[in-house]
Structure formats: structure tokens, C-alpha cells
Amino acid sequence: MKNDKVTAVCYAIAAAVFYALNVPCSKLLLDKIAPTFMAAFLYLGAGIGVSIMYLFHHRHESPTERLEKKDMPYTVGMVLLDIIAPILLMLGVKLGTSANASLLGNFEIVATTIIALLIFKEKVSRKLWTAIGFITLSSIILSFSGEDSFSFSVGSLLVLGATACWGLENNCTRSISEKSTYQIVTIKGFGSGIGSLIVAMTLGESLPEIRYILPAVLLGFVAYGLSIFTYIRAQKTLGAAKTSAFYAVAPFIGALLSFVFLRESLTTAYTIALVIMIIGTVFVVSDTLVST
């Protein structure tokens, strides 16, 4: 059982590392690709990449692993929320700095845990609440990090709206996480990608040049496809709340990449928040590996 938890923790951390590439790399591409089209290409990249992986795996999959009619409400909810969330995030990233957008993403943990507790009746331990408190404090510090901060801005509301959508989506996905991971991610990718394409065309956004589409699709496979795949694998053992807490490292990796590659300023607030985040993560690891 303990080995299963260690494996699940590794999956959760891998999911965070893959997703961390999303915001800073998207920031570079958003100068050439409109936000809604960007969201569409990211999810289509996930769908295309994981569906290719699925071709080599589906023969080893039992019929009981495949999604059924009873799973339809959670599947539809998952797709709809995955259309809305990345569009809000891309708009927020376009309006603000990549580092702050990454770090404000930590509010997804709070949303996921509260929804898991109130709606899905998932147990949340005292240690996990303590961890969430530190994570929230860290995010608040970074929300008020100066003139480039998202605090009280449209960008802030858009990013927080995205995290709330993903918090509910995480719990929908948790409800079907025992099913085929390949099938779930493929449906997520194509369903959300095509939905976002329709929204982009309805809004009249300009289709970008092909040379910018290919990097966006590749980014989507890694940052969304592989991230969602490993995230769902972690959820099977850890549950939605604990997996989302481990996912907290993603915004900090994303912000670090923003400092290195986008030359955004490294602030004192970021350093303080990093220390607080590490404390929160220690509580999460302790809670996950010790609890039965």
C-alpha cells in the first residue's frame, strides 16, 4: 500500500512538472496565437498525443475499464469545464505576467479541496487543511507583489476563474478515474479542443500561421496530455484533494521558468512565498505517506 502511495506521489509530481511548462511557453506563443485558439491547440495536442499512445495500449485494456453510459454526466462536465478554464487562463496570461499567472494557479488546490469536501464528501485531514492554509497564504502574498501583480485586476479574476473551473473539473475526473486513463485524456483533449475551436471561430479570432500551430500542439501534448495522464493515475490512489496539493509545485516551477527564460523580475515576495510553499508541501507529503 505504501509503495502504491509513493508511485502515486511520483505521478502527481510528474504531472506538476509537465504542466509547469504551460504558462511560460504559452506566454511566448500568445503574441502569435489568439487566446481561445491557443487553448484549443493545447487540448488538441493532448488528444492527438495520448490517442496515439492509446493505439499501442487498448488491446491490453479490459472492457470494465472503458467509460460507460453512467459515466456520461461526469465526462460531459469534465469536457465543458476544460473548454472554459484554459480560455480564461490564456486571457489572464495575455493580460499579466507569466510568473504571477503561474503562481495564482495555486488557488486550484483550494477550489479542488473545498469541492471534494462539500460535494463529493472526500475526507480532508487536519494536516492537509494546514498545507492548504500555507499554500493559500503563499498565493495571497504573490497576488499583492507590486504593480505587475494581478491583484484586483481583470487578469486576476480570469486566472482565479480558471482555477475554480479546474477545481470542479478535477472532482468530475476523480469520479471516473478508475476508468481508462487513455480514454479519459483522449476525450478531454478532442472534446475540449474542438469546443474551444468552435468558440474561437465564433469570436472571429484570426487563425495563426501553421509554424506557430505545431509548437502549440506539441506543448499541449506535454503540458496537458502527459500532465493530465499522470494526474489521473495519481488520483486513483491519492484522491482529488491530495493530488491537487502535490500539484502545487507546478506554479512555482512555471514561475521559475518565467524568471529564467522570459527575464521577468525575481521578487522578494516570490522568495518568501517559495519558503511558505515548501512548508505546505512538507505537510502534504507527511499526510499522504503516513495516512492509511
Mean pLDDT of the chain: 84
Q: What pLDDT, in 10s, does the model give residues 175-211?
A: 888 888 899 999 999 999 999 999 999 999 999 999 9
For the chain, the structural domain boundaries read 2-290
Q: Which residue has the higher pLDDT, 258 or 220?
A: 220
Q: Which residue has the higher pLDDT, 17 or 107?
A: 17
C-alpha cell at 213: 500551430
Supply the pTM of this predicted model: 0.79
Q: What pLDDT, in 10s, does the model give residues 128-145?
A: 888 888 878 876 776 665
Is 91's pLDDT higher than 50? yes
Is 150's pLDDT higher than 50? no
